[in-house]
Copies of this chain bind each other. A is one copy, B any other.
Amino acid sequence: MAGCGVRWQYILGAALSGALLLTAGILLGHYAIYKEPQTPEWLHSLSRDLDPALLEDFMNQVEAARIGQNLKDLSSKPHMATTKGDEELVQLILKAWRDPQTGLDSAMEGQYEVFLSFPDPEKPNSVAVVMENGSQAFISQETEKNLTADQADRDVVKPYAAYAPPGNPKGKLVYANQGKMSDYEYLVQQGIDLNGTIAITRYGGAGRADKAINGAKFGVVGVVVYTDPGDINDGKASATETYPYSWYLPPSGVERGSYNSHFGDLLTPYYPAKGEEKRLLPDITGIPPIPTQPIGFEDAKTLICNLAGNPVAEAAWQGALGCVYHLGPGFRQDGLFPNSRLPSNMCPSIFAKFLLLPPLDRYVLYGNHRDSWVHGAIDPSSGTAVMLEISRVLGKMVKEGKWRPRRSIIFGSWGAEEFGLIGSTEYTEEFYSKLQQRSVAYINVDIAVFANATLRAQGTPPAQSVIFAAVKTPAADSSLSVYENWKQHFSRNSSVYGVIPSLGSLGAGSDYASFIHYLGITSMDIAYTYDRSKTSARIYPAYHTAFDTFHYAETFIDPGFTSHQTVARTAGNVLIRLADALILPLNVSDYGETLQQMYSVAREAFQADLTHHNISLDPLWAAINRFQAAAAGLNQRIANLREEANPSPLDVRMVNDQLMLLERAFLNPRAFPEKYYYSHVIMASRSSSLATFPGLADAYDNAKEDGLWGEVHKQLTIVIQVIENAASILEPVAE
């Protein structure tokens, strides 16, 4: 009942200074270096294939201890994008890539000026409960408790919701579960007036920004977000059950994060953010319209366990705070805050850096972001530690004259991923034609090791074959091959291959997003992850908190760094195959299986309604059949070419270009004009829960509501066109 004071602080720099730094290392491809007249020395080099001994050499040289040392160096200090810690890592990585013994051919950095969001270090945000008499009955903790010294580092950023607006809202507290639209609707159905309330929500279920965007639609004026121990800690909530005693998140841990549902620099969609003269200032969408603040579950418990309201929240809404969750609004009279109101927040400004330039005219791209929220030992330094070990071994092999790849390899250390994949997106915007015309594939290793149980790979279908080839050797610490272990953890029944490991599909969760969705470059993401029979944690518990430290990583995530080593070997093996195989190891036939699967789902779910509206799926089926036949035909031609002793370099190049450019044929930049960047008709994001063609599925859902079946027809046409277009890329060029 009584008013409650809340402090909102922010810095929204009016000037856009600072810059996003990215570093890149390049290993030049081979064939350009020979230029002999009479005796064409290139004759051999153009037809040689990948040497298995080389792969073995690489695998043997990857050292777990070096990865561990990399990780220690990378995560010794907090290194949010554009901070001093980040800039120090730029220098560390550049030094590695310029090392005379193990460096690459060149390494460089570049800058974009982008819009980032930082809190005021002097005025931490808070969520407070203020009594009717004006006294403050509760205030959220400024930051994590100092448990292992790392948390006391003065560069630890205090918890905030990046890109949320500043403000000082007051209102009664309600518990809104995960902040989904359906959650707010449920509260309204329970007779709760959400106008003017503050909603407390737990992470999960909806994107970070969506919790606030959804709430605002119902009149909510502020959002508090916390991590429920039921979602992250397998229910463990006490100090002695959590880090540093286990991998679980301590009660004071707060997940930071970007509350931005788009990717790329918000101020310059589609255009590289380079210099004031190019700033486009579009209407910014996809960020919270109301103040938002993340807190730890220790504080959340104080708030939620004192909520009033009947009935209690339904079973699915209950978490593991150790009390029965009520919905509110407001606190119960017999609790800690009988006459009080609530909440809190803060906000944003600026920057980071990045860049590279590409070499020989076929590129294999490998990247990871460099910036973290705090020390970021797992996210992202585990991936960077792996990348540095891969580049070290490859650099060494080249410096020793043992080898030079057929195609150029470009390593990228992207900036400001945490704020919305910004560095990698700006990079693709600046070099879109070059990358589209010349890139064979993009390999992303962000968090290399979530946990040390099994490989987890995601990618578009052509990535499956090269990843499978790379993992059919035993893992570092096991007699079981990575492949077999993976299959034991995640498998599926393929209509083509029988039971095989399940390759996941790519969303937009890391830097591969603009490569696949915007440029149509075959992409993949590789990591080690959980044994799901042992934990149901939404993600590793220290994620985006001040507890994601080297100590945490070496103690609980991957003692001995053997899983890191396995990821390094796997990703490096994939990289070498893509860079060095005479014929690209991408099996485009695997797209046929995916398309067929998507078709089956669509037919099962949509056929009846479509028929009712005179829309036939037959042409889609015909297009898929044509694609499958074209892919099979190409595979046959490739098999024939492999049998030739001295295939013409241009015959080889021709099939390689078909393999490389197939993914581009699935792009249609006009297919989803309302979705920034998403141009890949088969792999775009979707609202529908059905794993089928995204545009079709979403148009179908909409038509069920609004009756606009013309849009369904249009999206079906778009899918048919790209599949036929893709088929024509694979068909014999002289047919």
User: Which residues of chain A have a CB within 8 Å of any CB of chain B?
Assistant: 26, 28-29, 31-32, 34-40, 42-43, 46, 105, 270-272, 275, 277-278, 280-281, 357-361, 408, 429-434, 437-438, 615-616, 618-619, 644-651, 653-654, 657-658, 661, 664-665, 669-670, 673, 710, 713-714, 716-718, 720-721, 724-726, 728-729, 731, 733-735
A437 / chain B contacts, CB cutoff of 8 Å: 657, 661, 664, 729
A37: nearest chain-B partner, CB-CB: B645
State whether A275 touches B619 (Cβ < 8 A): yes
State whether B31 touches A651 (Cβ < 8 A): yes
* A733 and B38 in contact, given A271-B717, A720-B278, A728-B431 (Cβ under 8 angstroms): no
State whether B654 touches A361 (Cβ < 8 A): yes
A270 / chain B contacts, CB cutoff of 8 Å: 670
State whether A729 touches B664 (Cβ < 8 A): no
> Within the assembled complex, what's the spacing in Å between the Cα atoms of A716 and B280?
10
Q: Which of B42, B359, B434 contacts A650 (CB 8 A)?
A: B42
A729 / chain B contacts, CB cutoff of 8 Å: 433-434, 437
State whether B434 touches A725 (Cβ < 8 A): yes
A728 / chain B contacts, CB cutoff of 8 Å: 357, 430-431, 433-434
Q: Which of B281, B646, B665, B673 contacts A38 (CB 8 A)?
A: B646
> Within the assembled complex, what's the spacing in Å between the Cα atoms of A437 and B653?
13
State whether A35 touches B720 (Cβ < 8 A): no
Q: Output the least CB separation between A628 and chain B (Å).
A: 18
* A38 and B619 in contact, given A713-B280, A735-B357 (Cβ under 8 angstroms): no
A615: nearest chain-B partner, CB-CB: B277
> Within the assembled complex, what's the spacing in Å between the Cα atoms of A46 and B648?
9
A669 / chain B contacts, CB cutoff of 8 Å: 669-670
A406: nearest chain-B partner, CB-CB: B650
A731 / chain B contacts, CB cutoff of 8 Å: 357
Q: Which of B34, B105, B433, B618 contacts A664 (CB 8 A)?
A: B433
> Within the assembled complex, what's the spacing in Å between the Cα atoms of A729 and B29?
17
State whether A430 touches B724 (Cβ < 8 A): yes
A733 / chain B contacts, CB cutoff of 8 Å: 32, 358-361, 408, 438
State whether B278 touches A46 (Cβ < 8 A): no
A651: nearest chain-B partner, CB-CB: B32
Q: 30 A–B contact pairs at CB < 8 A?
A: A31-B650, A31-B651, A32-B650, A32-B733, A32-B734, A35-B644, A36-B646, A37-B645, A38-B646, A40-B43, A42-B648, A42-B650, A270-B670, A271-B718, A275-B619, A277-B618, A277-B619, A278-B720, A280-B714, A358-B733, A360-B654, A408-B733, A408-B734, A430-B728, A431-B725, A433-B661, A434-B725, A437-B661, A438-B733, A650-B653
A43 / chain B contacts, CB cutoff of 8 Å: 40, 43
State whether B433 touches A734 (Cβ < 8 A): no
> Within the assembled complex, what's the spacing in Å between the Cα atoms of A386 and B717?
38
A28: nearest chain-B partner, CB-CB: B734
Q: Which of B42, B281, B357, B657 contacts A361 (CB 8 A)?
A: B657
Copies of this chain in its oligomeric complex = 2
Q: Output the least CB separation between A728 and chain B (Å).
A: 5
Q: Which of B31, B35, B433, B718 contacts A665 (CB 8 A)?
A: B433
A40 / chain B contacts, CB cutoff of 8 Å: 43, 646, 648
A47: nearest chain-B partner, CB-CB: B40
A438 / chain B contacts, CB cutoff of 8 Å: 733
A36: nearest chain-B partner, CB-CB: B646
A733: nearest chain-B partner, CB-CB: B361
A29 / chain B contacts, CB cutoff of 8 Å: 734
State whether B37 touches A644 (Cβ < 8 A): yes
Q: Output the least CB separation between A630 and chain B (Å).
A: 12
A651 / chain B contacts, CB cutoff of 8 Å: 31-32, 35
State whether B735 touches A359 (Cβ < 8 A): yes
> Within the assembled complex, what's the spacing in Å between the Cα atoms of A35 and B160?
64
> Within the assembled complex, what's the spacing in Å between the Cα atoms of A34 and B644?
11
> Within the assembled complex, what's the spacing in Å between the Cα atoms of A38 and B37?
21
> Within the assembled complex, what's the spacing in Å between the Cα atoms of A431 and B735?
13
A616 / chain B contacts, CB cutoff of 8 Å: 277
A728: nearest chain-B partner, CB-CB: B434
State whether B710 touches A650 (Cβ < 8 A): no
Q: Output the least CB separation between A140 and chain B (Å).
A: 41
> Within the assembled complex, what's the spacing in Å between the Cα atoms of A270 and B618?
21
A648 / chain B contacts, CB cutoff of 8 Å: 31-32, 34-35, 40, 42, 46, 649
State whether A280 touches B359 (Cβ < 8 A): no
Closest 4 CB pairs of A and B: A359-B734, A37-B645, A433-B665, A42-B648
* A278 and B35 in contact, given A665-B433, A725-B434 (Cβ under 8 angstroms): no
A665: nearest chain-B partner, CB-CB: B433
A31 / chain B contacts, CB cutoff of 8 Å: 648, 650-651
> Within the assembled complex, what's the spacing in Å between the Cα atoms of A734 and B409?
11
Please give 15 more A-B residue pairs, beta carbons under 8 A apart, in addition to A32-B648, A408-B733, A437-B729: A28-B734, A29-B734, A31-B651, A32-B650, A36-B646, A37-B644, A38-B646, A42-B648, A277-B716, A429-B721, A430-B724, A433-B729, A434-B725, A434-B729, A437-B661
Q: Which of B277, B433, B665 contacts A725 (CB 8 A)?
A: B433
State whether B38 touches A645 (Cβ < 8 A): yes
Q: Output the least CB separation between A593 and chain B (Å).
A: 21
Q: Output the least CB separation between A625 and chain B (Å).
A: 15
> Within the assembled complex, what's the spacing in Å between the Cα atoms of A645 and B26?
30
A357 / chain B contacts, CB cutoff of 8 Å: 728, 731, 735
Which of A40, A275, A615, A670 lies at the interface centre, i.e. has the most chain B CB atoms within 10 A of its CB?
A40
> Within the assembled complex, what's the spacing in Å between the Cα atoms of A624 and B376?
42
> Within the assembled complex, what's the spacing in Å between the Cα atoms of A277 and B717?
8
> Within the assembled complex, what's the spacing in Å between the Cα atoms of A618 and B278?
11
A661 / chain B contacts, CB cutoff of 8 Å: 433, 437
> Within the assembled complex, what's the spacing in Å between the Cα atoms of A673 and B669?
11
A37 / chain B contacts, CB cutoff of 8 Å: 644-646
A268: nearest chain-B partner, CB-CB: B717
A721: nearest chain-B partner, CB-CB: B271
